[in-house]
């Protein structure tokens, strides 16, 4: 478990005081994949660099598995840091060293004997599926391959925590997915806690169990990924969700409607796959209204499904209200309009 307790980080820049982090309190459960999302400048990189104390906080404590990292002396810190691996957006490989040398480097620095290093190297090359590139240089690799080498290097010393700062931001969507799958595998098979900083909501959607949303050095929202996707509260969170979930009715569908009254359009949100049709059919049967399904889709959020349906409800205002209440009683989230105007 990683705990941030009242963490602040201030920088002095040209006489100005920058609050990169402002009173952060956050708990990252052991064994989870924990996402931190925010726009550029929100403080994400500063936050993740505090975990292994590459930066020191101005105030507050970082506690990892009951050890207060901020209270450790240099020697103890070096020891503890060996339990934390890190990967980066631009991979940070040594260009003049081969794949094998890059992966072995952290073990060399820790004084691990050659035979043991070789054994671990072979395991890791197998794991990242790059045995055939052992003697290649970073220049000869694709972006996805470079990040796999970065991952192998980060795992060399069997860390308990893996920090990822925009690890897929320089990769195309397909390569991003394959790297995310690899990270998921590492988490599931080796129980390694993964902290994932990103500005891309689909990264969170694909792999994270929990997510914190950051803005201007603060955590503005926090929860399980499913909670955040199904019930975003802060406007910034909603904006991020919109990049993944269709939250507004496509304009061409609206244009083709006979009755274009925006107030008659509702966005229904369902958790889980099964109930959708049953609930809608039951509503049509029970209430004397016109219920027109305009658009429906489903999104998978790290193993759970969120279904969305845009409907038009026409008829008596009171009966429409009863219909909405009926939906809500059946666990459906109902929002009016959602029309893009």
Q: Which residues bind Mg ion (CB under 5 A)?
A: 45
> Smallest distance from the beta carbon of 3 to ligand ADP, in angstroms?
19
Task: For residue 97, give every residue at least 6 positions away whose Cβ sits within 8 Å of its Cβ, in sequence order, or none.
Answer: 105, 137, 138
> Shortest distance, CB of residue 20 to ligand ADP, whole angstroms?
3
Mark out the alpha helices in the chain (DSSP H runs).
44-51, 74-81, 99-109, 114-127, 143-155, 173-190, 201-207, 225-230, 235-242, 251-255, 275-286, 317-329
Measured CA to CA, the distance from residue 283 to residue 324 in angstroms comes to: 9
Per-residue three-class SS string for 178-203:
HHHHHHHHHHHHHCCEEEEEECCHHH
Residue numbers of the site for ligand ADP (CB under 6 A)? Answer: 11, 13, 18, 20, 38, 40-46
CB 43 within 8 A of CB 6: no
Residue 45 or 267 having the CB closest to Mg ion: 45
Smallest separation (angstroms) from ligand ADP to the CB of 260: 41
In this complex, which beta carbon is closest to ligand ADP, that of residue 37 or of residue 156? 37
From ligand ADP, Mg ion, none, which one binds at residue 115 (CB under 5 to 8 Å depending on kind)? none
46 binds, among ligand ADP, Mg ion, none (CB under 5 to 8 A by kind): ligand ADP
In the bound state with ligand ADP, the residue whose beta carbon lies nearer, of 213 and 268, is 213
If the CB atoms of residues 57 and 338 are measured against ligand ADP, the closer one turns out to be: 57
Give me the least distance between CB of 269 and ligand ADP, in Å please.
29
Q: d(Cα 103, Cα 176) in Å, to the nearest integer?
A: 21
Distance CA 268, CA 246 (A): 11
Closest CA to 59 of 33, 21, 27, 97: 21
Q: What is d(CA 189, CA 329) in angstroms, rounded to the nearest whole number?
A: 40
Rg (CA), the chain: 24
> Could you say which of Mg ion, ligand ADP, none residue 43 binds, taking C-beta under 5 to 8 angstroms by partner kind?
ligand ADP
In terms of CB distance, is 91 or 310 closer to ligand ADP?
91
Nearest residue to Mg ion, scored by beta-carbon proximity: 45
CB of 251 to ligand ADP, least distance (A): 33
**Shortest distance (Å) from residue 99 CB to Mg ion:** 26
Judged by CB, which is closer to Mg ion: 10, or 49? 49
Tell me, rounded to whole angstroms, the distance of Cα 333 from its chain centroid: 23
Q: Which does 13 bind (CB under 5 to 8 A by kind): ligand ADP, Mg ion, none?
A: ligand ADP
């Amino acid at each position: 478990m990683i705990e941030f307790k009242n963490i602040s980080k201030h920088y002095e820049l040209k006489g100005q005081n920058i609050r990169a982090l402002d009173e952060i309190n956050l708990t990252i459960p052991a064994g989870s994949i924990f996402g931190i999302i925010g726009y550029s400048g929100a403080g994400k990189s500063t936050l993740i660099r505090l975990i292994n104390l590459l930066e020191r906080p101005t105030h507050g404590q970082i506690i990892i598995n009951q050890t207060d990292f901020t209270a450790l002396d240099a020697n103890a810190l070096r020891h503890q840091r060996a339990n934390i691996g890190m990967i980066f957006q631009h991979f940070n490989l040594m260009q003049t060293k081969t794949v094998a040398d890059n992966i072995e480097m952290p073990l060399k620095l820790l004084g691990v004997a050659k035979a043991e290093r070789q054994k671990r190297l072979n395991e890791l090359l197998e794991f990242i599926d790059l045995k055939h590139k052992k003697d290649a240089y970073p220049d000869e690799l694709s972006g996805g391959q470079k990040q796999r080498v970065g991952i192998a290097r980060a795992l060399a010393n069997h860390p308990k925590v893996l920090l990822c700062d925009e690890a897929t931001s320089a990769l195309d969507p397909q390569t991003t997915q394959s790297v995310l799958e690899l990270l998921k595998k590492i988490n599931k098979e080796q129980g390694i806690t993964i902290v994932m900083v990103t500005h891309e909501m689909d990264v969170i959607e694909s792999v994270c169990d929990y997510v914190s949303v950051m803005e201007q050095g603060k955590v503005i929202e926090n929860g399980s990924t499913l909670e955040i996707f199904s019930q975003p509260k802060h406007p910034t969170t909603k904006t991020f969700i919109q990049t993944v979930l269709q939250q507004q009715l496509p304009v061409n569908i609206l244009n083709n409607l006979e009755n274009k009254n925006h107030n008659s359009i509702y966005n229904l949100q369902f958790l889980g796959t099964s109930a959708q049709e049953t609930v809608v059919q039951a509503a049509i049967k029970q209430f004397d209204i016109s219920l027109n399904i305009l658009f429906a889709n489903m999104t998978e959020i790290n193993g759970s499904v969120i279904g969305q349906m845009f409907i038009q409800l026409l008829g008596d205002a009171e009966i429409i209200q009863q219909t909405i209440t009926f939906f809500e009683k059946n666990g459906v989230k109902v929002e009016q309009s959602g029309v893009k105007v």
